[in-house]
Amino acid sequence: MKIIVNAVPHEVTSRIMSVALSELGFTSNAMATALNGRFIPNMARETTALTEGDKLEILAPMQGG
Amino acid sequence: MQLYDTEISSRLMLGTAQYPSPAVLLDAIRESGAEIITVSLRRETADGSGAGFFDLLRQSNCRILPNTAGCHSVQEAVTTAHMAREVFNTDWIKLEVIGHSDTLQPDVFALVEAARILSDDGFKVFPYTTDDLVVGERLIEAGCQVLMPWGAPIGSGQGLRNPGALRAMRAHFSDVPLIVDAGIGRPSDATLAMELGMDAVLLNTAVAKAGNPKEMARAMARAIEAGRAGYNADPMDRRDMAVPSTPILGLAELA
């Protein structure tokens, strides 16, 4: 299944967000997720299903003003 | 100075972007005496680079104020705020909703709407706004207990483009903490902001892009302290004409 992760197409096998994140190598504790523009809390990743073409944003702490 | 329910003693708040190196950033934070630093959220890479930066921030022992920089809509800003609350474990959010890409001027209409949504959801909102009094009133009605008017466009270093409007804000919002956010370029700009009665100054580029960020951080801290002390000391009124400071009484007639 192809999904868009931070604007880049990726192939994932799992349809569960938490599993797909591990599959893609995103294992940091200091990151937040949004699916198709909606915030998905850490606790909800295990129960969030992915579908073909979903847009997943994974954000992390960065310098800011 | 009380920001929401937190007592803060340093009136300088520092951004963490654009420093030559992480070590220089840490030096600048320490020299500035800042207790609050601003940060953002950006796309993570699979190597977990964001976690390393977060560890660096923890070394500063500062309170973190995440921003919604780069958001152009209510939905983007609200979603970013929720993501920041989870990552940084804070309900503080520096709310930016940008209206123009070139001037980075706030979209004050979207700002008020996002501020209301986030305040209702328990966030403590620090809105980056213009110096418009009516917008300030709307933000307070929306739940904000702090206002952050711009001095000049973000990153421009132009100083205070409209000191009169900031003076009017001080008079109008006598009990609301006012923090000048954006536009400060030099220590004298920060001093002027404080002399106008602002409660604090938030700056980033002026320190990060100085030739010596550590030295500039120290200079800004002193400038802000001087400006605050000057405001508290109640400066004299300006006069149109000269008035001799040496007494006329007792002046000899020698002509």
| B84-110 per-position pLDDT tens digit | 999 999 999 999 999 998 889 999 999
What is the per-residue pLDDT across A17-37, written as a single tens digit (0 to 9) for each?
999 999 999 998 899 999 999
Which DSSP letter does residue B103 get?
T
Residue contact B83–A59, C-beta within 8 A:
yes
What is the per-residue pLDDT across B203-252, written as a single tens digit (0 to 9) for each?
999 999 999 999 999 999 999 999 999 999 999 999 999 998 999 899 99
Name the one residue in this structure whose structure tokens are 């002046």. B251
Q: Is residue A20 assigned to a domain?
A: yes
- What is the C-alpha separation between B237 and B254, in angstroms, rounded? 34
Count of structural domains, chain A = 1
What is the per-residue pLDDT across B13-56, written as a single tens digit (0 to 9) for each?
999 999 999 999 999 999 999 999 999 999 988 777 777 889 89
- What is the C-alpha separation between B52 and B58, in angstroms, rounded? 10
Q: Is residue A33 assigned to a domain?
A: yes
Q: Is residue A52 assigned to a domain?
A: yes
Using a CB-CB cut-off of 8 Å, the residues of chain B touching A6 are: 43-44
* Positions of B marked catalytic: 94
What is the per-residue pLDDT across B131-147, written as a single tens digit (0 to 9) for each?
999 999 999 999 999 99
- What is the C-alpha separation between B20 and B57, in angstroms, rounded? 16
What is the per-residue pLDDT across B71-85, written as a single tens digit (0 to 9) for each?
999 999 999 999 999
Residue contact A32–B18, C-beta within 8 A:
no
Q: Is residue A65 assigned to a domain?
A: no
Q: Across the interface, which of B25, B46, B53 has its CB nearest the CB of A25?
A: B46
Compute CA distances B53 → A30, B9, B45, B69, whole Å: 10, 26, 13, 17
Q: Does any CB of chain B come closer than 8 Å to the CB of residue A8?
A: no
Q: Does any CB of chain B come closer than 8 Å to the CB of residue A30?
A: yes
Residue A46, min C-alpha distance to chain B (Å): 16
Pairing mode, strands B179-181 and B200-203: parallel
Q: Is residue A9 assigned to a domain?
A: yes
Distant-in-sequence, close-in-space partners of B5: CB < 8 Å, separation ≥ 6: none
SS3 B42: strand
Q: Is residue A64 assigned to a domain?
A: no
Q: Around Cβ B214, how many Cβ atoms within 10 Å?
A: 20
Q: Is residue A14 assigned to a domain?
A: yes
Q: Across the interface, which of B49, B87, B204 has its CB nearest the CB of A32?
A: B87
Find the domain containing A18 and state its range: 2-59
Residue contact A65–B15, C-beta within 8 A:
yes
Q: Is the four-CA dihedral A15, A20, A24, A26 of positive or negative sign?
A: positive
Residue contact A62–B57, C-beta within 8 A:
no
CB B211 within 8 A of CB B45: no
CATH number of the domain to which A36 belongs? 3.10.20.30
User: What's the pTM value of the predicted model, to 2 decimals?
Assistant: 0.93
